[in-house]
């Protein structure tokens, strides 16, 4: 039974004095039965000696002792049957003694358990109080640290807000002197016969860049066809000329093309070209340049970006430029067999040089101190502004293939096509977004 002792336990010594007293009393009370009763009273004496000499035990061992006491009570109850009436009085005394001892032990156990629970409860309350005290001592420090951090975040947020407001102001701060008034906008649109049902393209740029030839190709016409724009080496356009698209099928029937007088002449100033020509009245502007990117081209592009006018940058006469490069660098003409051999390499080099040149020009424009943050971003984003390298000669069959749904026909030499198809795709896309309808 756990740690309980027994008579076989060598570490346990019973109280021999008690044993002798019990046996002597039994022999004196029952002189005729001494030898027969000695074993019984030795057992009782042994149990009494264990009860009297066992030290204070823990709770579990105490419960074991209680079991032993119960055994002794049961033995005492059996004593009268063995001893007869003569031993009943002594047996009853032992029973009462043992029962009282067990009752007191149980009460003591209950009190001890209750006291232990109270101690544990008080210990928990002390720990909780100490924890609250510690929290009360440390919380102000944490709160002060959090408050300081919140103040720093607030200051940083105010700083960012101030910078954002300043940037917003810079982005949308336009030169009010250059903005058209409502009356000027209406007058400009009246001059070009603007219609909300149409999409109006203005082709502009320096004199002699081939604007008129491109207009004819965009409209699917050759220079000799009826209604074609006049083409010449000298500046043939002195006023804005309106060319409705000859197609009767949408989306092309909705397009109107305008040949804008070339800039850089005594009659047309580069600095005020955008406003003087009323380019703000058009849905999109196509800046056409030939072999050089001029101050006029940069002025038009910056003004278009500033006033949210969609602008396409087009380098024209690509076929002529490549022919000249092959002749100057290789000595071949179109009649030579070697011409087609070197053409792909010369074409790739020409495209790379053209794109690099325009990128540098756009970067230079973006770094102009007069350009605000928004315009600087747009000028450097090639998703919005890039160069389309085309020739009127190659553009015409591409346009016809789009309109006739005959792309890939034998009339197109795919090896000579550069950006003609992509330019048309982007123009259709912009037109559709501008009008909110499908244009192609």
pLDDT computed for residue 431 by the predictor: 81
Cα 430–432–433 angle (5° rounding)?
Answer: 65
How far is Cα 373 from Cα 75, in angstroms, rounded to an integer? Answer: 107
Residue 280 and residue 193 in contact, taking contact as beta carbons nearer than 8 Å: no
The three-class DSSP label of residue 277 is: coil
**Exposed / middle / buried, residue 423 (Cβ in 10 Å: 0-12, 13-18, 19+):** buried
DSSP 3-state assignment of 208? coil
Which residues does 333 contact at the CB level (< 8 Å), separation at least 6? Answer: 323, 326, 327, 339
HSE-up of residue 273 (Cα within 13 Å, Cβ side): 31
Diameter of the chain measured on Cα atoms? 163
Rounded Cα–Cα distance for residues 418 and 344 (Å) = 11
Written as six digits, the tokens of 181 are 């008034």
Task: Classify 5 in phi/psi space as left (phi over 0), alpha (psi -120 to 50) or beta.
Answer: beta
For residues 264 and 205, what is the distance between their CA atoms, to the nearest angstrom?
A: 9
Residue 312, token pair as written in the block: 């396409």
Report the Cα 423 to chain-centroid distance in Å: 35
At 9 the pLDDT is 40
Residue closest to 309 by CA, chosen among 130, 135, 188: 188
| Tens-digit pLDDT string for the chain (440 aa) | 444 444 334 443 444 454 555 555 555 554 554 555 556 555 555 555 554 444 444 545 555 665 666 666 566 556 555 545 545 555 566 566 666 766 777 777 777 778 778 878 888 888 888 787 777 777 777 777 877 888 888 888 888 877 776 665 655 555 554 677 889 899 999 999 999 989 999 999 888 889 999 999 999 999 999 999 988 755 555 689 999 999 988 889 999 999 998 766 656 667 788 888 999 999 999 999 998 888 889 889 988 888 888 999 999 999 999 999 999 999 999 899 999 999 999 999 999 999 999 999 999 888 888 887 878 888 877 767 789 999 999 999 999 998 887 544 446 788 899 999 999 999 988 887 766 544 44
pLDDT in the model for residue 393: 92
Distances, alpha carbon 103 to alpha carbons 49, 70, 90, 99, 284, in Å: 19, 11, 20, 6, 109
Cβ atoms of 420 and 394 closer than 8 Å: yes
User: In whole angstroms, what is the distance from residue 414 CA to residue 240 CA?
Assistant: 34
The shares of helix, strand and coil residues in the chain, as percent rounded to the nearest 5, are: 60, 5, 30
3-state secondary structure of 43: helix
- Give the pLDDT confidence score for residue 39 in this predicted structure: 60
- Confidence (pLDDT) at 46: 57
Ramachandran category for residue 242: left, alpha or beta (phi over 0 → left; psi -120 to 50 → alpha): beta
**CA nearest to 14, candidates 57, 56, 43, 35:** 43
Question: What stretch of H or E contains 67?
Answer: helix 59-83
Structure tokens, 2: 């756990």
Q: Are 262 and 233 in contact (CB under 8 A)?
A: no
Contact 267, 252 (CB under 8 A): no
Report the Cα 380 to chain-centroid distance in Å.
Answer: 25
All domains of the chain in start order, with CATH: 1-171 (no CATH), 185-435 (3.40.50.300)
Query: Residue 126: helix, strand or coil by DSSP?
Result: helix
pTM: 0.60
Q: Say what the pLDDT of residue 439 is.
A: 45
């Amino acid at each position: 039974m756990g740690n309980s002792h027994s008579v076989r336990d060598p570490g346990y010594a019973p109280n021999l004095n008690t044993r002798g007293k019990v046996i002597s009393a039994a022999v004196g009370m029952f002189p005729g039965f001494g030898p027969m009763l000695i074993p019984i009273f030795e057992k009782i004496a042994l149990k009494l000696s264990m009860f009297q000499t066992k030290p204070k035990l823990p709770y579990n061992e105490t419960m074991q002792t209680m079991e032993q006491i119960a055994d002794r009570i049961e033995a005492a109850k059996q004593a009268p049957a063995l001893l007869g009436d003569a031993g009943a009085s002594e047996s009853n005394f032992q029973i009462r003694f043992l029962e009282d001892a067990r009752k007191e032990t149980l009460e003591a156990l209950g009190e001890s358990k209750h006291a232990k629970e109270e101690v544990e409860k008080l210990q928990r309350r002390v720990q909780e109080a100490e924890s609250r005290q510690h929290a009360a001592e440390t919380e102000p420090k944490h709160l002060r640290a959090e408050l300081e951090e919140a103040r720093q975040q607030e200051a940083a947020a105010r700083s960012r807000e101030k910078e954002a407001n300043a940037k917003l102001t810079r982005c949308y701060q336009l030169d009010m002197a250059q903005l058209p008034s409502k009356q000027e906008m209406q007058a400009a649109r009246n001059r070009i016969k603007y219609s909300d049902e149409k999409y109006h393209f203005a082709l502009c740029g320096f004199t002699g860049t081939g604007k008129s030839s491109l207009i004819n190709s965009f409209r699917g016409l050759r220079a000799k066809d009826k209604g074609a724009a006049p083409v010449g080496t000298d500046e043939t356009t002195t006023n804005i000329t309106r060319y409705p698209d000859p197609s009767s099928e949408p989306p092309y029937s909705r397009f109107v093309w305008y040949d804008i007088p070339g800039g850089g002449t005594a009659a047309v100033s580069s600095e005020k070209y955008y406003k003087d020509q009323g380019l703000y009245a058009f849905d999109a502007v196509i800046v056409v340049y030939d072999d050089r990117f001029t101050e006029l081209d940069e002025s038009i592009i910056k003004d278009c970006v500033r006033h949210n006018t969609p602008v396409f940058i087009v380098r024209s006469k690509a076929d002529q430029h490549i022919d000249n490069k092959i002749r100057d660098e290789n000595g071949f003409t179109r009649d030579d067999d070697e011409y087609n051999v070197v053409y792909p390499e010369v074409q790739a080099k020409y495209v790379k040089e053209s794109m690099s040149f325009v990128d540098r020009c756009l970067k230079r424009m973006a770094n102009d101190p007069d350009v605000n943050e928004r315009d600087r971003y747009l000028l450097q984003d090639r998703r919005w502004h890039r160069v389309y390298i085309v020739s009127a000669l190659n553009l015409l069959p591409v346009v016809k293939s789009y309109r006739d749904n005959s792309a890939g026909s034998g009339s197109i030499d795919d090896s000579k096509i550069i950006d003609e198809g992509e330019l048309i795709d982007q123009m259709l896309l912009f037109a559709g977004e501008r009008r909110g309808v499908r244009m192609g």
